[in-house]
Amino acid sequence: MKKINAAITGVQGYLPPKVVTNHDLAKFVDTSDEWITSRTGIKERRLMENGATSDMAAEAVKGLLKKTNTKPEDIEVVIVGTVTPDYPFPSTANVLCDKAGLSNAWSFDVNAACSGFIYALATGTQFIESGRYKKIIVVGADKMSSIIDYEDRTTCIIFGDGCGAVMLEPTQEEIGIIDSILHIDGSGHKYLTVPAGGSANPASKETLDNKMHYVYQDGKTVYKFAVKNMANVSKTILDNNKLQGSDVKLFIPHQANRRIIDAAAKRCGLKDDQVLVNINKYGNTTAGTIPIALDEAVETGRLNKNDLLLLAAFGGGFTWGSMLIRWGELK
């Protein structure tokens, strides 16, 4: 019997309509368009004015179901990568299933920060490869504006809101997810975190007064770790599969910082036209960056059947990982 592979059969992104430019941010924090662009590559980002992470996810999932001509009740599993859940519990995936009418699915969230989509996709892949499930939706979604201090110029310039979703289905063709590498280093948890709101520092007047419910980032430490490890894990997965940069049709990295992206591309020997960069338009949408970029790649005709796709991400935790996909045909 041929091996069952997990293939992506549909992709759908969702971005809130409100655009916030660098010039807009410069009106209330000490920054400038030149300062932000030179350090991050970001020009603007999207902000969700009303609603929760599950509302963005529901829009993406409804669009995905329409694109793939799939009935909501046919979805068996839903996995949502997010660090901005609607609630501490129940999971955002549970709420999403209700809003999108996925009445027969079971679901759960994955919290791996900016690596969340790759972690969720690797998990969904194994459910498909087991032969037990036929239709799985994997979502990367974050409303980062809900945990950002817009008086902190070190973080508010970086993040935006957004979401993307993919359909995973089984195939016996030589396409789909080929390989993945996932890593963590828990000693990095203190360098990129939301310090309060969990059991370590429950909400109190003190945590509110000290703004401990917003993202804290030690920028220099995070940058150094990200540059090294996202580049290394991208190169390692190519080496493990006896591939070179020239074999890759498209590299979709997590959109955190243009310099981190460039370092990973250089390490793999990739040319500019092999790398998808949209951080200038959307900023860092955390778990949303890769599926949003994947939707853009599909919509702009940058992926065809049998093309080799490389994904890589790095996030708080620390978490990082990479994935190789042999692209198939979408529904």
Tens digits of per-residue pLDDT, 21-45? 999 999 999 999 999 999 999 999 9
In angstroms, the CA 293 to CA 278 distance is 7
pLDDT of 1 strictly over 80: no
The answer to whether the Cα torsion of 86, 90, 91, 93 is positive or negative is negative
**49-60 mean pLDDT:** 98
CA 270/CA 279 separation, integer angstroms: 18
Q: What is the pTM of this model?
A: 0.98
Where in the chain does DSSP place strands (E)? Answer: 5-14, 18-21, 44-47, 77-81, 106-110, 136-143, 161-171, 176-184, 192-193, 216-217, 250-253, 308-315, 319-326
C-beta neighbour count of 49 within 10 angstroms: 9
Q: Which active-site residues does the annotation give?
A: 114, 254, 284
In this prediction, residues 42-51 reach a mean pLDDT of 98
Sorted by where each starts, the structural domains of the chain and their CATH numbers stand as: 5-173 (3.40.47.10), 178-326 (3.40.47.10)
Residue 169 pairs in a beta bridge with: 7
Q: List the structure tokens of 61.
A: 């999932």
pLDDT one-digit tens code per residue, 236-288? 999 999 999 999 999 999 999 999 999 999 999 999 999 999 999 999 999 99
Is pLDDT of 2 > 90? no
- pLDDT tens, residue by residue, 94-151: 999 999 999 999 999 999 999 999 999 999 999 999 999 999 999 999 999 999 999 9
